[in-house]
Chain A
Amino acid sequence: MQVYILTYEQAQSLIGIQFMPDNYFNPIMDAEGNHIISIEEVEQCSIDWVKALPLITYKPIISKPWQE
C-alpha cells in the first residue's frame, strides 16, 4: 500500500483544510517518522502541490491492543 509523503511544514499547512466539502485532511506519521496522507485525500483534492507529492510505501505504526 502506498501513501504520499509530506514535510512537517506541508503537513501542518493541511490541518483543518478540506480536501473536498466537509472532509478534512489528516496528516499522520508512519512508523519511520514520515508525515503522510492517503491516496484518497490526494485523489479527491484539487490542490496542485498536494497532487505533486511523491508516493512512498506505507509503514504503519503497529499498536498492540489489549488481549483477553
Chain B
Amino acid sequence: MPGPFTYFIWFVGILCEAAVLVCALKKGAFRRYLLLNLYMAGLMIVELGRYRILSQYGQSSAQYAYFYYYSDALLTICLYFALSSLYSHVFSEMKAERYVKMGTLLLLAGTAAFSGAVVLQSSAKLLTHFVLELSQNLYFVGVVLTYVLWAAILKLKETRTRLIQLVLSLGIYFSLLAANYAIRNLYPQLGAVVAPLAQIFGTFLPVAWAYAFWRLPEEARLAPARLAVIPR
C-alpha cells in the first residue's frame, strides 16, 4: 500500500481538481471552457475510482494496473480534445474553427493509426498494448501541440490573460513531466527522489487552472509592450 505522503499528495490533487470545477462554476467560465472542465471532472472521477480500486485490490493488483492505464488513455484523449478547444479559442477571430476540428480529428486518427501499426508488430494482448501506445503517443502529440499553440499566441500577440495562463500552465505541466521522466532515466539512482516528484507535478495543472479561473477575469488583458521609439 502507498505511504501517508503518497495519500496526502493524492488527496490534495483530488481537492485541487474539485477546486477547478468550483472556481469555473462560480466565475461563470464552465461553459466557455467546457472541454477543459469536462476533462477535470473526468480526472476527478477517475482519481476517486482509482482510490476505490486501490483500497480494494492493492497497488500491485492487475485490477488497479488495468484500471489505471485504461483510464489514463481515456483521460489523455480528453486532454487532447481540451487542448484542441484552446486552439479554437485562440483562432476564434480568424473563423478557423472548422479547420481546427478537421486537424484535431485527422491528427487523432493519424496517431491511432501509427499506434496500431506499432502494436500490430507484437502478437499478444493487442488491445492493452494499443491503449498504452496510443496514450503515450498522444502525450507527445500534446506536448508538440502545446508548444505550437504557444508560438501561435506569441505570433498573434494574444492578450487574453486567462487564456494565456491556461495554455502556459499546460506547457509547463507537460515540460515538468517530460523533464522528470528524462532525469529518472538519466539518473536511475535518483529514482527514490524523482518518482514522488511526478506525483507532486500531477497537482500542478489543477492548481494553475483553479488560479486562472478564480483570480483572472475573462476580460483581463495583458498590457501590450511599449512601442519602440525609433529616432529619426
B is bound to A = no
A interface residues with partner B (beta carbon < 8 Å):
none
B residues with a Cβ closer than 8 A to A are none
